[in-house]
Amino acid sequence: MNALRPGGDAPTGWLRVACRPGKADGHLVFPYELTNDGPNPVLVMDAWRRAAEDDAAPTADPQLAQVVLREDEVAVVGKYVPALADAARPMVPHLPLCAVLKPGEAMTRELRVRLPLAEQTPYVGEALLSRYEQVELRGLLFAIGWWPLAQKGLAAAEWPFAPGLHAVTPLARLPAAGTAQQHFPTTRLHILKRRDAFPRSFPAHPEL
């Protein structure tokens, strides 16, 4: 069974995001606050594992962003489970590391994405410059994925290499995830769209 094929309905309405994006030092900057308005704790997608060299311990990278251009030329930027090309599809994927947010609590973060903005995902390496084309955006959607802490079909355990973060593993199919999102209009903002078989669907995030 493919663990990346989501099953069940996505949770909705618990996690709220407030973001005020800007530009600084050659980056798009997304300072954001997440608030849990729901009745139970949630797992908030917060970082990605980064492999270490020379047998050192792996680290958590909170600045790895997913950037995908939708068919309506809106870029989806943030921390969520991206689609995978078939050639890169593992049976048990490394999912985002998650922070636990209790009911009524809030957490603040900042995500910085290097300019020029380009499609990217932790699962697929960068392409040659000749394999991109420049497209003017019609909008930008900032998105943060989440699951209930007690999500059926998902196991979460503290990650020993980064205090406060939890590693999550699907027990069978990957449960569909909720998405806190905020839409922004754009003016003269471009994205480098990949010309190769870059995956642009959102299998785990029905709301995207």
- What are 2-57's pLDDT values in tens digits? 344 445 566 777 999 999 999 999 999 999 999 999 999 999 999 998 877 766 78
Calpha distance 20→10 (Å, rounded): 26
Q: Is residue 119 part of a domain?
A: yes
Of 100, 115, 113, the closest CA to residue 31 belongs to 113
Query: What is the model's pLDDT at position 123?
Result: 81
Q: Is residue 205 part of a domain?
A: no
- What are 156-208's pLDDT values in tens digits? 999 999 999 999 999 988 899 999 999 999 999 999 999 988 889 898 999 98
Q: Is residue 201 part of a domain?
A: no
Query: What is the model's pLDDT at position 127?
Result: 76
Query: What is the model's pLDDT at position 172?
Result: 84
Q: Is residue 7 part of a domain?
A: no
Entry field: residues in the chain: 208
Domain span at 130:
15-194
Calpha distance 142→144 (Å, rounded): 7
pTM of the model: 0.91
